Amino acid sequence: MNPYGGEPTAVVQAVVGTYSVSAFSTTDDNLTVTDEVVYGEHVFGFEKVFSRFDLAAARFEQMAYAVRYALDKWVVNTLLEEGTGAYTTPVGGFTTAGNLNTIIANLWTKWAGFDITAGAYCVIESGDLTGVLVAMMDQGFSMADAALKNGFIKHYGGIDWYVVRAGTFVDEAATTVSGSKTWTNLNRRLAGIKMTTTYASPRDLTYEEKGVSGKTGMEIDVWALVGLRVWNNKAALTVDIALA
């Protein structure tokens, strides 16, 4: 159910001590868990016996990471599709260091005046660091010193910055990457205000080991359910950034 009701408008009047009672509305909107991320392998008995380490545990760790990465990719791309805010960067996008402050200022024009106490965020790809990191190292004294000493700064310009792998923002149409969703996000990046979107993954990651008839060893699978909703009252605060 949509947690955001219609926005009230306060009345300014001469002091009389009375008020009118107004009706409020809620928009019919809901979050549905629509997709699942799955992966499975079979570790044969002889593979486990001949290994000089815990093969099953090692495979589970890698499988869990793969499922987590697929979940992250699904979430950021689905956020981009559901958000209605839009912004196009100057030519060169994030890879041009001189663009960073301009991009930040323009993003804030999308959010200023709203309740942003939860904070703002921006998700870029690793290749964008060729401009972003240079800009961070070249801005002011304490900021530049911190970037030169520690590298990438996670909070800059009032925004929390997140970096994902190159190739995370993609075009997909109901594939084994996007599940039931269609994405058109190649050369796009994501920004928004926290706490305006609800993400659901019931029971988080689930891990199972199963004996299989006719095979030694164990079958291992990792899976997770996933759903997401950008509530329509706040959808404009989630910004689709097009790279020029």
pLDDT at 140: 64
Q: What is the pLDDT of residue 144?
A: 66
- CA 239, CA 99: separation in Å to the nearest integer? 17
Report d(CA 142, CA 214) in Å as an integer. 65
- Print pLDDT tens along the chain (244 aa): 666 767 778 888 889 888 888 877 776 677 889 899 999 988 887 777 777 777 778 888 888 999 999 999 999 999 999 999 999 999 999 999 999 999 999 999 999 988 888 999 999 999 999 999 888 888 766 766 776 777 777 888 889 999 999 999 999 999 999 999 999 999 999 999 998 888 888 878 888 888 888 888 888 889 999 999 988 888 999 999 999 9
DSSP H or E segment with residue 38: strand 33-43
Distances (CA, A) of 96 to 4, 136, 160: 38, 12, 19
Kindly report the pTM of this predicted structure: 0.82
Q: Which residues pair with 227 in a beta bridge?
A: 33, 200
| CA terminus-to-terminus distance, the chain | 37
pLDDT of 89 reads: 97
- Please give the pLDDT value at position 28: 65
Whole-number pLDDT of residue 105: 96
Q: In this predicted structure, what is the pLDDT of residue 179?
A: 95
How far apart CA 130 and CA 224 sit, in angstroms, is 34
> Is 153 in contact with 143 (CB distance < 8 Å)?
yes
Q: What is the pLDDT of residue 121?
A: 96
Q: What is the dihedral of CA 174, 177, 181, 186, to 10 degrees?
A: -100
**What pLDDT is stored for residue 174 in this prediction?**
94
List the structure tokens of 178. 């996007």
pLDDT of residue 189: 97
